[in-house]
């Protein structure tokens, strides 16, 4: 039994209408908030400036790579950035739908549209935020490992998942925690099922290290590695270690997470009652954490 019966078509249709309305309303969104700063740094890098040495910024290099790709592929300006944001949103929603597909079309469409509505409802300042960019990589990472857990012949899933998580780490290093958790899951499953251990673990680990190693090689080649290390060690880590002290920090949009938490709790109740796909449940929990 799937979760399709628990997501009525009227609910999915309602989300689809809301998503369409919010998408149309967002077409005129300008390039604002953090995005213009990242655009400027990416443009300077494209003109030959050395990141971190010539331009002080605390973001990880994958952020600049993405912005530089947008500038060179789509161009500068509001329209290009709006096209990129909507394309990235569509790709992330499709990945969520693929992850949820074993639980029924209702779950797949509902999950994809819920994410789209949440992003579009946040407003123009959320476009291109690093947390938003990470979501596609995190879902692909969990999806690749889940597919291997379900069928060991899908070794390509481990490679794709590792590549996605490695790319995520170049945007925010926190993604490495999910990579480690999923890597341990691969090792545990290989031992439990009697599969050869080294082959899947090596595939996943090598794929996860490919993008970060390439980015570090780029920083070293342009002479930015020492400056980047200095910013991370002497500025970024001390700054975030003190952030929120005293306790004036407020969790962003905390009210919205109340129904999200309720939905997650209901999902686990249904999964226990109707024995939904265990591999994807585990991967989903790890990705959420």
Average pLDDT, 10 consecutive residues per value, the chain (289 residues) = 56 91 96 93 96 94 96 95 97 95 87 94 90 96 92 86 97 94 90 76 95 97 96 88 59 67 70 56 56
Predicted confidence at residue 10, as pLDDT, reads: 80
Predicted confidence at residue 4, as pLDDT, reads: 46
- Give CA angle at 216 (215, 218), nearest 5°: 65
């Amino acid at each position: 039994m799937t979760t399709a019966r628990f997501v009525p078509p009227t609910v999915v249709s309602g989300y689809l209408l809301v998503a369409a309305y919010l998408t149309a309303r967002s077409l005129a969104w300008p390039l604002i908030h953090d995005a213009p700063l990242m655009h400027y740094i990416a443009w300077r890098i494209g003109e030959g400036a050395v990141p971190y040495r010539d331009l002080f910024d605390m973001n990880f290099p994958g952020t600049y790579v993405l912005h530089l790709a947008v500038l060179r592929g789509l161009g500068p300006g509001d329209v290009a950035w709006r096209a990129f944001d909507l394309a990235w949103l569509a790709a992330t929603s499709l990945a969520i739908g693929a992850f949820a597909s074993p639980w029924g079309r209702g779950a797949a469409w509902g999950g994809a549209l819920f994410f789209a509505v949440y992003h579009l409802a946040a407003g123009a300042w959320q476009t291109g935020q690093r947390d938003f960019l990470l979501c596609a990589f995190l879902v692909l990472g969990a999806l690749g490992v889940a597919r291997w857990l379900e069928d060991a012949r899908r070794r390509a899933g481990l490679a794709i998942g590792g590549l996605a998580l490695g790319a995520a780490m170049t945007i925010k290093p926190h993604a490495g925690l999910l990579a480690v958790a999923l890597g341990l899951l691969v090792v545990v499953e290989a031992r439990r099922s009697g599969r050869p251990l080294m082959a899947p673990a090596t595939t996943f680990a090598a794929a996860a290290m490919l993008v970060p190693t390439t980015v570090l090689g780029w920083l070293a080649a342009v002479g930015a590695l020492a400056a980047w290390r200095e910013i991370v060690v002497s500025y970024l880590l001390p700054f975030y270690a003190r952030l929120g002290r005293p306790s004036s920090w407020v969790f962003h949009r905390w009210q919205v997470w109340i129904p999200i938490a309720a939905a997650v709790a209901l999902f686990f109740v249904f999964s226990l009652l109707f024995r939904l796909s265990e591999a994807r449940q585990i991967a989903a929990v790890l990705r959420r954490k």
